[in-house]
Amino acid sequence: MITPLAVTAAESWKSLVQGRSGVGLLTQIDRAPFNSKVAAEVKNFDPALYLKPKELKKTDRFVQFAVATAHMALADSKLDIPKEDPYRIGVLVGSGIGGLRTIEEQHKILLTKGPGRVSPFLIPMLIVNMAPGQISISFGLKGPNNCVATACATGSNAIGDAFKIIQRDEADVMLAGGTESCITALGFGGFDAMKALSTHNDAPETASRPFDRTRNGFVMGEGCGVLVLESLPHALKRNAYIYAEIVGYGMTSDASHITAPDPTGEGAARCMSVALKSANITPSDIDYINAHGTSTPMNDKVETLAIKKTFGESIARKIAISSTKSMTGHLLGAAGGIEAVACVLAIRDSIVPPTINYRVPDPECDLNYTPNEAVSRKLRYVMSNSLGFGGHNACIIFKAFDA
């Protein structure tokens, strides 16, 4: 993981468990013109550790995040790439928005200096598929290579689709997740104009407050999360350390509104049900849900309703739920990737990360959101929800690996 909390998975996870916030005052652009003045920005990231100087000039920040995170994930997996079949290793990393930073910079150059000064690398720098493309180039991975762009469901869809590729025996290994970096004047301004962003500017660390009655918008973030997925025979053959299994995946559409979730929660509920059926388990098997939990008034209310519809009131109240977005902010296309990493680490450590900044209960959000402090709990089945603009819903189910 590269997150607003830290630039490694280990440090990011430590901060999540401790309930630290990665949110602060917006610094990447002038915050004065905007209603919201807070963001969850990545600090202390050095892309030169992972990319050569010539490559740095040809890659947007969201691609740099992806390549760096892939480096770390592969190192952690201890895959010996030169000894592997490159045609059996693929990449499926998505981005919701892509190279908006590059678009803005080059558009200014077009207007001030003319078309002759526009970078010849403009197009390959801005297209969203360059994240998996550059990863495959960096490591010589010639298997399935694809990119998902389903807004805030992107990371989860990428991991779920990669899971299916391995199930179909089209690859032994897939690098999968999501990446995003679009805290720019245009990107931030667009969400600000929608009134989607938190305006709790006086205390930035508390601005993201999922399921709390005083929530008034999400905190825009950036970062990347990548998992190394492997077929079980391949992992066992090389004696890999296995964090967890992916056992279920669902995706549905609300077919309701371009930005707002279906107010009945039907699409999200059906998505969770599809994932449960895919995993061949019952609602009572789920121990923890990493909720989409954006901190917007509508999302948190609808997701709560959808969980109740899927699990029934009595089971829903027994499940530990939390939104790590309370600490990382909302990383858009990268959210599902980072939250998937959080889920497998939660299984490994038998701990549920908290929903911080939960102070004022909302009668319409009345489930167990693990308020403010992590809880130790043995976790066998864990669910991760991602709900995106356009009505895209994605759900992944992880299971503790039983050798």
Residue 120 lies in a domain: yes
CA 245/CA 232 separation, integer angstroms: 9
CA 38/CA 200 separation, integer angstroms: 8
Same domain, 254 and 144: no
Quick: pLDDT tens for 19-71.
999 999 999 999 999 999 999 999 999 999 999 999 999 999 999 999 999 99
Quick: pLDDT tens for 309-358.
999 999 999 999 999 999 999 999 999 999 999 999 999 999 999 999 99
Angle between helix 335-349 and helix 9-18 axes, rounded to 10 deg: 70
What tokens were used for 232? 């079980």
Same domain, 97 and 231: yes
Handedness of CA 114, 118, 120, 124 (dihedral sign): negative
Same domain, 223 and 254: no
CATH number for 204 = 3.40.47.10
Quick: pLDDT tens for 237-293.
999 999 999 999 999 999 999 999 999 999 999 999 999 999 999 999 999 999 999
Residue 394 lies in a domain: yes
Q: Does the pLDDT at position 213 exceed 90?
A: yes
Nearest of 77, 227, 52, 76 to residue 134 by alpha carbon: 52
Residue 230 lies in a domain: yes
Same domain, 305 and 171: no
Contact 261, 167 (CB under 8 A): no
Contact 342, 16 (CB under 8 A): yes
Residue 392 lies in a domain: yes
Of the chain, the percentage scoring pLDDT greater than 90 comes to 100
Same domain, 22 and 75: yes
In the listed set 237, 259, 291, which residue is the last one of a domain according to the structure? Answer: 237
The DSSP output letter for 24 is: E
Contact 158, 99 (CB under 8 A): no
**Secondary element (H or E) of residue 140:** none
Name the catalytic one among 200, 330, 343, 365.
330
Name the catalytic one among 292, 365, 392, 395.
292
Q: Is 330 a catalytic residue?
A: yes
Same domain, 232 and 262: no
DSSP string, 276-329: HHHHT--GGG--EEE----S-HHHHHHHHHHHHHHH-HHHHTTSEEE-THHHH-
Q: Is 292 a catalytic residue?
A: yes
203: confidence class by pLDDT, cuts 50, 70, 90: very high
Query: How many structural domains comprise the chain?
Result: 2
Same domain, 266 and 230: no
Q: Compute the mean pLDDT over every residue in the chain, rounded to the nearest whole number.
A: 98
Q: 320: domain range?
A: 245-399
CA 180/CA 202 separation, integer angstroms: 26
Mean pLDDT over 130-135 rounds to 98
Quick: pLDDT tens for 66-85.
999 999 999 999 999 999 99
Quick: pLDDT tens for 157-199.
999 999 999 999 999 999 999 999 999 999 999 999 999 999 9
Q: Where are the beta strands (DSSP E) in 120-167?
A: 145-146
In the listed set 182, 211, 237, which residue is the last one of a domain according to the structure? Answer: 237
Same domain, 278 and 163: no
The DSSP output letter for 17 is: H
Same domain, 309 and 292: yes
In the listed set 211, 237, 263, which residue is the last one of a domain according to the structure? Answer: 237
> Which residue matches tokens 């990393």?
93
Residue 279 lies in a domain: yes
Same domain, 269 and 231: no
Same domain, 266 and 393: yes
Per-residue CA distances from 281 to 209, 378, 383, 384, 387 (Å) = 31, 17, 12, 15, 22
Q: What is the pLDDT of residue 403?
A: 80
Residue 2 lies in a domain: no
Residue 4 lies in a domain: no
Same domain, 275 and 321: yes
Name the catalytic one among 147, 152, 224, 395.
152
Residue 1 lies in a domain: no
Of the chain, the percentage scoring pLDDT greater than 70 comes to 100
